[in-house]
Every structure is written in structure tokens, then in C-alpha cells.
Amino acid sequence: MSASTYESVSAASKDMYARARAVLPGGNSRTAVFSSPYPIYAASGSGSRVVDLDGTSRIDFLNNSTTLVHGHAHPEIVAAVSEAAARGTCFGLPTESEVLFAEALCSRNDSFEQARFTSSGTEAVMMAVQASRAHTGKAKIAKIAGAYHGAYDSVAVNNDGSGSLLSHSHTAGMPAEVIANTVVIPFNEPEEAVKILREHVAELACVLVDPVPWRIGLAPMSTEYIAALRAFCDETGVLLVSDEVGSFRIGYGGAMGALGGVADLTVMGKVIGGGMPIGAVAGKAEVMSVFDPSKGKPKLPHSGSYNANPVSMSAGVASLRLLTQEQMKRIGELGEQVRDTMTKTIEANDLDWQVNGLESLFRVLTGTVPGSGASSAQLGHLLFQALLENGVLIGDSGLGCVSTPMIQADIDEFGAAFDSAVTATIDRARAQG
Ligand SMILES: Cc1ncc(COP(=O)(O)O)c(C=O)c1O
């Protein structure tokens, strides 16, 4: 895309970004929402639509990186948030809302005997890792090469989507001992993964997995892989921790259950909070007892001024109530349609691109364009911008999802926009050489 085309649809965002740069580093508080040359600023959202500062309305398939499973400003969630806020946003006392939300969450999966809340997925991953260490008395964790689990040091290791098995970090200044304590295993290679895990078993607290890891392509863990990790954990007492911050929406009781596995601890975020800041860990009462302060100092003291705040808890109760089996099936079918329509366009254009995902999640992996030297990431960015011009928002990693307010017309609109955007992407990639 030429810069002028992008600028022609985003003049107000350009001005806002100039202001932002003066007071925020690079104009930004969240790396993921930066987009070169400047991001489009949101003004409001309603249902399946987001409106930017220039007043342009688009179908939102990004949904805040797959958080907003009920779209923007769902009336029942707005009511729950408003009512909770009117009663007081946070207290130095527990509230009933925390109990209600834990009951709602635990009723969805037999392995969720107890739950505990934070204000983000990052904190929830941190809590699960610390709980695993407290429970086992061991320091190391294992994670899948390239997979993303948020900003906590121990998991910000080998999280760049690459298949490399090296323990490395892109976070400048990361202590070497943190990196050394994070073991990296290959994705969907059961024998090799278990071989590596066995080498570290004496020091290993947990195996942290995302059953549908988006950063390495959004393909699900295979049945064999899940079974091999479960068997290793059963044999050794190492905990299997399923990070479903992004993938919980794959099944009514989460992704691991939908894929036929059982985790010891499950980390959640995003969809369970209805758009409010949220994180949760649920699992076996025996493991969760590391937090129990009722019998003296717990093994793992864990606080947070906003943990289980009633606004997030109430939004969460409403979000889970709305996330019925029927709705999940419906958005899963629409997701299938989205993947099919993209695949057809890609095939019609003879491209080597790939579409992954399942249920309501999708990711398009831009490969190459014959006659252009553009990298996959550059093509992803061109596609993202061309989709914006055509009235659709997805992530510039190609990540997207269907939300419950979406209807068939949204999916049809997406199909037409994707078709035009792919043509524009090919033309622009070739024009750039
Ligand atoms: C798998 C996974 N884990 C953890 C996180 C971190 O969650 P949060 O952004 O709420 O801190 C994310 C966020 O995208 C995620 O996808």
C-alpha cells in the first residue's frame, strides 16, 4: 500500500499519533497495537463494529486480540459493569461477585476444582508458574518453542514464533539464570519433547502449553502430543499447565478438554472477562492449596490490589452466561466459513499462504507473492492495511476471531473484503519489488 492510501483513510489517527509520540515512548503503551507508520485509533465500538477517530466503521475480527467474544459494548455486559461500578469498583474486602464467578468457571470443567483471579493473563501465567514451583519445590519450567504466554520473565523466553529450540529472549537485559530455567520443547513432536523433559525432570516444576498456540501458527496440539505430555506428568509429578488465555474459547470447558486432554492447572483470561481486565487460574484443589491462607502462611502468598475486583468479576459472570454451548457452536461454524472463504481466495490466486485455526479462531499465514521479495511479515502488514481500507480489522499477524454479535452478513462482507485485499496486497507487493 502506498503511504498516501493509508493516510487518506486515517488523517485523525495520524494527528493523534503525533500527539501520542510526545508523551508516550513511540506513542505506545502496548507493543502489539503499534502499526507502522502509525496505528488507527479507536473511538468506539458496538457489537461487531469498531469506529475509528475519522468516523470510519469496520467489522472487528480482531476483537482486542480475541478478547471480545461478545463484541463491543454488549448490553448485558455493560449493565453488569455499570451496576458493579455503581456499588463500588474495588474493596479491601472480598465480595460475593468473586464467589459467583469462581462457581461459574468451575462449573464448566471437572478439572477446575478451585479458581483464583488476577487482572491480566500475564499475571495469571505468572501465578500458575509460581504455584507449580511452590507445589513441586522445583525451579525450572518447560514451554513450547516460539509460543507466547505474556510478559512474565520466565515465559518471555523463546516466544517469537520461531521453531528454534534454543532458550533465548528478545527482552534486553533478561537475566541469564531466568533463561536457563526455561526449557524449550518442540511443538507436536512427542518423542523429542519427552526426551528433553526427561533430561530436566529433577528440576522441572511444570510443562506450560497453549493447546492452540497462536504465535506459532494457531494449529492445535495433536492427540499424541497431549497424551505424551500427560503421561510424562503423571509419571513424574511435574504439573501440566494449560495456558488458555487465547484458546479457552475453543471449547465450553476450554481448549485442553475440547482436544481430549486434562491439565493440572488451567490459565485463562480474555474471553472470560467480557472485556474487563482479567486473568484466572483454575485446577485441582490439591495444587491450588498452595494459596490457602486459612491454615497459616501459605506456600505461595499472592496478592494484588485489583485481584477479583467486582467490576471484572461481574463482567466475567455475564460473559460466561452468554457463552453458551449453542453460541460457541454457532460462532465456531461462522469461523469455519471464514477459514473456507479465505482458503478459496488464496487458492484462486495461486498463493502459498495458509489458513489455520479452529472453532471461532483463525489465522492467515502470508507466505510469499511470486514476483515480489516481500517477507511473510511484510505481506501480513500489507494485507492488514488493505483489509482496513476494505472495512475489516484483523491483526497484522493475520490473527482474527468471530464474536457472538456477528451474523452471516458480517461473514459475507469479510469474504468480499478479503478478496479485494488479497488482490491489493499482491499488486502492492509486486510494485515494491
Ligand atoms: C496464550 C497467552 N497467554 C498469556 C497472554 C497474556 O495475557 P494478557 O495480555 O491479558 O496479559 C496472552 C495474550 O495474548 C496469550 O495469548
Provide the residue type at 426 as one letter. I
Neighbouring CB atoms inside 10 A of 377's CB total: 13
Outline where DSSP puts E strands in 92-145: 114-118, 140-144
Distance set, CA 204 to CA 133, 137, 182, 250, 422 (Å):
8, 9, 9, 28, 46
C-alpha cell at 214: 497462536
**131 and 271 fall within a common domain:** yes
**262 and 146 fall within a common domain:** yes
pLDDT tens-digit map of 255-279: 999 999 999 999 999 999 999 999 9
**104 and 194 fall within a common domain:** yes
**27 and 106 fall within a common domain:** no
Say if residue 153 is exposed, middle or buried (CB neighbours under 10 Å; 0-12, 13-18, 19+): middle
**169 and 48 fall within a common domain:** no
- Cα separation, 164 vs 182, whole angstroms: 14
High-pLDDT (> 70) share of the chain, %: 99
Final residue belonging to a domain, choices 258, 288, 322: 322
Phi, psi of 220, rounded to the nearest 5 degrees: -75, 155
C-alpha cell at 308: 477479583
**CA–centroid distance, residue 236 to ligand 1 (Å):** 28
**359 and 283 fall within a common domain:** no
- Cα separation, 26 vs 32, whole angstroms: 12
Ligand 1 atom nearest 122 alpha carbon: 11
Confidence of residue 2 (pLDDT cuts 50, 70, 90): very low
Mutate to test the pocket of ligand 1, among 65, 244, 270 (most ligand atoms within 8 A of CB): 270
Task: Identify the domain containing residue 263 by its residue range.
Answer: 75-322
pLDDT tens-digit map of 215-238: 999 999 999 999 999 999 999 999
**CA–centroid distance, residue 348 to ligand 1 (Å):** 35
pLDDT at 168: 83
Task: Look at the chain and report how many structural domains it folds into.
Answer: 2
Q: Crossing angle, helix 408-432 and helix 325-348, to 10 degrees?
A: 30
Mean pLDDT of the chain: 96
Q: What is the CATH number of the domain that holds 121?
A: 3.40.640.10
What pairs with residue 127 in β-bridges? none
Phi, psi of 379, rounded to the nearest 5 degrees: -65, -40
More confident residue, 378 or 166: 378
Confidence of residue 169 (pLDDT cuts 50, 70, 90): confident
Give the pLDDT mean for 401-407: 98
**135 and 242 fall within a common domain:** yes
pLDDT at 80: 98
C-alpha cell at 338: 471464514
**184 and 165 fall within a common domain:** yes
pLDDT at 1: 43
**CA–centroid distance, residue 9 to ligand 1 (Å):** 30
pLDDT tens-digit map of 90-119: 999 999 999 999 999 999 999 999 999 999
Please check the confidence at residue 280 and state whether its pLDDT lies above 80. yes
- Residue whose Cα lies nearest atom 9 of ligand 1: it is 121
**79 and 65 fall within a common domain:** no
pLDDT at 4: 53
pLDDT at 372: 97
Q: What is the CATH number of the domain that holds 391?
A: 3.90.1150.10
Final residue belonging to a domain, choices 289, 322, 355: 322
**205 and 233 fall within a common domain:** yes
For residue 210 and ligand 1, the question of a CB distance below 6 A is answered with yes
**178 and 274 fall within a common domain:** yes
